[in-house]
Amino acid sequence: MNSTQQRRGPRTVSARRVAFDVLRAVQVDDAYANLLLPTRIRRAGLSARDAAFATELTYGSIRMLGRYDAIIGVASGRRVDNVESDVLDVMRLGVHQLLGMRTPTHAAVSATVELTREIGARRATGFVNAVLRKVAARADDEWDALITEGRGGDALLATRWSHPAWVVAALRDALAAERSRDELAALLAADNVAPRVQLVALPGLATAEDVQVAEDVQAAEAVPDPATSATEDDQATQDAPPVSPQRDETDARPVSPVGIRGTTGDPARVPGVAAGRLRVQDEGSQLAALALSRSSAVRAGERWLDMCAGPGGKAALLAAEAAQGGATLVANELVPARAGLVRKALATVAGGDVVTVVEGDGRRFGKPGDERFDRVLLDAPCTGLGALRRRPEARWRKQPEDVPELAALQAELLDAAVRALAPGGTLAYVTCSPHLAETRGQVDALMARHGDVLEQLDTAGVVRAVAARDPQVADGRTVQLWPHRIGTDAMFVALFRRTA
């Protein structure tokens, strides 16, 4: 038994095998990497260094899948459709190590060839070895020139930045609506950057000590950069220091007044997270919830509704805000399993006298005789194109034909939200997508249907007042957050008040 085996004891699952297994589950079983990967890492007993390596290898390979397939096609002289799917996934991991993580060629190629054997594809080891060596023979900018040759417009950007062309077009349109079309390349690049861990300090629960300890722990326990640290398997073969992949270079200061912005590492190691007083939540989501709860002073006795509450992140923040202001919250979720997540998320935030979790279709609210609510959050089902950093598989799963169906559902939910809103009440319409059909288009259509009883609020003014620093939003009655500007998901928020 060698020293590496002695260090590991019974563990035999490598960081690369964990990444491969998750990538296959994403491809074959429609799994979500952000949900599956932590479980597989814990099951494999990976060290902090190997966990960081597996995380970057998994997420990076999924984000850059389109670009890497183009490179593999050129390097192999084959259409990737003609390569066996498991072998193709192995090569995607290998290419990311070579071009995205700058793992030394010998370590990346030899370990990927060994992984090919391990998954039972011994017949393909020579092919994998040859393709990866061809990939390693050229720099990334040389590959960029090769795979974009003869392409222009959205097709070129789609290949270069590894986004489907229809997503590129949708993002271009959304930026153009703010007269910011020239920011498209920066946005596409930001979608391919590993985001910082972001936490929310729940008001009334988290203490100043919780926040300070969280900041100290994240600084002290930040794991080694996965691209500047080899895995344990690589230590014997590493012959040059690799170069770090692109990281989030936006302002490290929190933009949310209850946000904590970290770097890397396992947030579960933070005591406040383990106790439930701090939660993992993107600061864009925090601002969206706070735009509703802090749009005006809370009056004791107010009734609030979260129409689509699963998995419970925004509901937890709203519940904490409601408890402090003397309000109550009804958190609704259609899917029973997600409703269970909402109950779990709220269990340590507020008691049953503050929060009620119910199950059912959000479109049922507002029927004659039903109670009315003073504040309603509609965080509507959407394409998720605003969270491509955190949910890398979304860009490959969603299709343009999904948009009309989602838009129709969003409109029906908005109609129900208006019916459920009490006179003088506030509605926050939120999506994790910048697609115009899900954002400004919905707002315009809503006002056309209900302009006699609704008025739009100065959402940009509210978000600026709530934020801890400049959220860099355009003036107007709607707000679109952007990852390349402030390091959050691309959340859309529009606030309305019922006038009659």
Which residues are the active-site residues? Answer: 432
Report the 3 state secondary structure along the chain.
CCHHHHHHCCCCCCHHHHHHHHHHHHHHHCCCHHHHHHHHHHHHCCCHHHHHHHHHHHHHHHHCHHHHHHHHHHHHCCCHHHCCHHHHHHHHHHHHHHHHCCCCHHHHHHHHHHHHHHCCCHHHHHHHHHHHHHHHCCCHHHHHHHHHCCCCHHHHHHHHHCCCHHHHHHHHHHHHCCCCHHHHHHHHHHHCCECCCEEEECCCCCCHHHHHHHHHHHHHHCCCCCCCCCCHHHCCCCCCCCCCCCECCCCCCCCCCCEEECCCCCHHHCHHHHHCCEEECCHHHHHHHHHHHCCCCCCCCCEEEECCCCCCHHHHHHHHHHHHHCCEEEEEECCHHHHHHHHHHHCCCCCCCCEEEEECCHHHCCCCCCCCEEEEEEECCCCCHHHCCCCCCHHHHCCCCHHHHHHHHHHHHHHHHHHHEEEEEEEEEEECCCCHHHCHHHHHHHHHHHCCCEEECCHHHHHHHHCCCCCCCCCCCEEECCHHHHCCCCCEEEEEEECC
